[in-house]
Structure 1
Amino acid sequence: MSKQGKNKYYGNDSITSLKGADRVRLRPSVIFGSDGIEGCQHSVFEILSNSIDEAREGFGNVIEVSRFKDNSVMVKDYGRGIPLDYNEKEGRYNWELVFCELYAGGKYKNNSGENYEFSLGLNGLGSCATQYSSEYMDVTVFRDGYKYELHFEKGENIGGLIKQKEDYESTGTIIKWKPDLEVFTDINIPLEYYTNTLKKQAVVNAGLKFILYDEESGQTFEYCYENGIVDYVKEVSQDKAFTGIQFYETSTKGRDREDKPEYKVKMQIAFCFCNEINLIEYYHNSSFLEYGGAPDKAVKNAFVYEIDKCIRARGKYNKDEAKITFQDIQDSLILVSNSFSTITSYENQTKKSITNKFIQEAMTEFLKQQLEVYFIENKIESDRIIEQILVNKRSRETAERTRINIKKKLSGNIDMSNRVKKFVDCRTKDVNRREIYIVEGDSALGSCKLARDAEFQAIIPVRGKILNCLKADYESIFKSEIIVDLLKVLGCGVEIKTKHNKEFNTFDINNLRWSKIIICTDADVDGFQIRTLILAMLYRLVPTLIYEGKVFIAESPLFEITTKDKTYFAYSDREKNEIIAKIKGKYTIQRSKGLGENDPEMMWQTTMNPETRKLIKVMPDDIENTEKMFDILLGDNLPGRKSFIEENGYRYLDMVDVY
Structure 2
Amino acid sequence: MRSARSCFITTGESDHVTASAENLYGADDLTHLEGLEAVRKRPGMYIGSTDSRGVNHLFTEIVDNSTDEGVAGHATKIVVTLHADGSVEVDDDGRGIPTGTHGKSGLSGVELVLTRLHAGGKFGGSGYKASGGLHGVGASAVNALSLRLDVTVKRDGKVHEMSFRRGVPGIFDGPGPRAKFTPKSGLRFVRKMKRGESTGTTIRYWHDARYFEKGAALDPEQVRMKLRNTAFLVPGVTYVLRTATDSTINEETFHYPNGLVDMVEFLAPAGDRPVCDTQLITGEGTYRENAADANGVMQSNVERRAEVEIALRWGTGYERTVECFTNTIRNIHGGTHRKGFERGLVRAVHDAISKTRGLLKPKEEPPILDDVCEGLTAVVHVRIPEPQFTSQTKDELSTAGITKVVQGLVEKHIKAWAEHRRTRAEVKTVLQKIVDASRVRLAQKQQKDAARRKTALEGAAMPPKLVDCRSTGVSRSELFLVEGDSALGSARLARVSEYQALLPLRGKILNVQKANLSEALKNAEIASIVQVLGAGTGRTFDISSMRYGRVILMADADVDGSHIRTLLITLFARYMRPVITEGRLYAAMPPLHKIVTKGRKPETHYTYTEREMEAKVAELERSGKQVVKPVPRFKGLGEMDADELWETTMNPATRSVRRITLDDVDAAEATLELLMGEKVEPRRKWLITSAERVNQAAIDI
Q: Which residue number in structure 2 is paired with residue 584 of structure 1?
A: none
Q: Which residue number in structure 1 is paired with residue 343 of structure 2?
A: 301
Distance 1:184 1:58 in 2: 36
Matched, 1:223 2:238: no
Code of the residue aligned with 1:402 in structure 2: it is: Q
The C-alpha deviation readout for 1:478-509, integer Å capped at 9, x for no partner, is xxxxxxxxxxxxxxxxxxxxxxxxxxxxxxxx
Q: Secondary structure at the match of 2:222?
A: helix
Distance 1:133 1:90 in 2: 23
Distance 2:124 2:96 in 1: 19
Would the alpha carbon gap of residues 10 and 233 (structure 1) be closer, same or farther in structure 2, given more than 3 Å must change? same
Distance 1:140 1:411 in 2: 73
Distance 1:120 1:379 in 2: 39
Residue of structure 1 aligned with 2:46, choices 31, 35, 43: 31
Contact 2:340–2:404 (Cα < 8 Å) also in 1: yes
Residue of structure 1 aligned with 2:436, choices 366, 377, 391: 391
Q: Which residue number in structure 1 is paired with residue 446 of structure 2?
A: 401
Would the alpha carbon gap of residues 179 and 318 (structure 1) be closer, same or farther in structure 2, given more than 3 Å must change? same
Would the alpha carbon gap of residues 381 and 35 (structure 1) be closer, same or farther in structure 2, given more than 3 Å must change? same
Distance 2:20 2:332 in 1: 46
TM-score by length of 1: 0.59
> What pairs up with 1:97-176 in 2 under 5 angstroms?
97-110=112-125, 114-158=126-170, 159-160=184-185, 161-168=187-194, 169-176=197-204
> What pairs up with 1:322-471 in 2 under 5 angstroms?
322-377=365-420, 378-405=423-450
Q: Which residue number in structure 1 is paired with residue 296 of structure 2?
A: none
Using the aligned pairs only, state the percent identity. Answer: 26
Distance 2:198 2:455 in 1: 70
Q: Which residue number in structure 2 is paired with residue 284 of structure 1?
A: 326
In the alignment, structure 1 segments of 5+ residues that lack a partner are 418-659
Matched, 1:233 2:264: yes
Distance 2:209 2:21 in 1: 32
Would the alpha carbon gap of residues 319 and 201 (structure 1) be closer, same or farther in structure 2, given more than 3 Å must change? same
Code of the residue aligned with 2:314 in structure 1: it is: F
Contact 1:207–1:227 (Cα < 8 Å) also in 2: no
Q: Which residue number in structure 2 is paired with residue 43 of structure 1?
A: 58
The C-alpha deviation readout for 1:35-71, integer Å capped at 9, x for no partner, is 2222222121111111000111112211111123333
The C-alpha deviation readout for 1:404-432, integer Å capped at 9, x for no partner, is 5556778999x999xxxxxxxxxxxxxxx
Matched, 1:200 2:229: yes
The C-alpha deviation readout for 1:542-588, integer Å capped at 9, x for no partner, is xxxxxxxxxxxxxxxxxxxxxxxxxxxxxxxxxxxxxxxxxxxxxxx
> What pairs up with 1:471-482 in 2 under 5 angstroms?
none
Contact 1:332–1:389 (Cα < 8 Å) also in 2: no
In the alignment, structure 2 segments of 5+ residues that lack a partner are 1-14, 171-183, 291-298, 462-701
Contact 1:104–1:125 (Cα < 8 Å) also in 2: yes
Would the alpha carbon gap of residues 405 and 198 (structure 1) be closer, same or farther in structure 2, given more than 3 Å must change? farther
TM-score by length of 2: 0.56
Code of the residue aligned with 1:164 in structure 2: it is: V
Distance 2:339 2:263 in 1: 22
Distance 1:351 1:260 in 2: 24
Residue of structure 1 aligned with 2:218, choices 189, 194, 219: 189
Code of the residue aligned with 2:27 in structure 1: it is: N
Contact 1:304–1:325 (Cα < 8 Å) also in 2: yes
- 1:310 offset after TM fit, Å? 1.8
Contact 1:73–1:177 (Cα < 8 Å) also in 2: yes
- 1:106 offset after TM fit, Å? 1.3
Matched, 1:262 2:262: no
Contact 1:61–1:209 (Cα < 8 Å) also in 2: yes
The C-alpha deviation readout for 1:209-260, integer Å capped at 9, x for no partner, is 1111122595322211111101212333478201011112112333136923
Distance 1:189 1:404 in 2: 48
Code of the residue aligned with 1:43 in structure 2: it is: L
Distance 2:20 2:424 in 1: 78
The C-alpha deviation readout for 1:286-344, integer Å capped at 9, x for no partner, is 01111111111111111111111222222422232222111101112111111100121
Distance 2:20 2:64 in 1: 48
Name the Cα RMSD after superposition: 2.6
Distance 1:256 1:139 in 2: 37
Contact 1:275–1:331 (Cα < 8 Å) also in 2: no
Q: Secondary structure at the match of 2:300?
A: coil
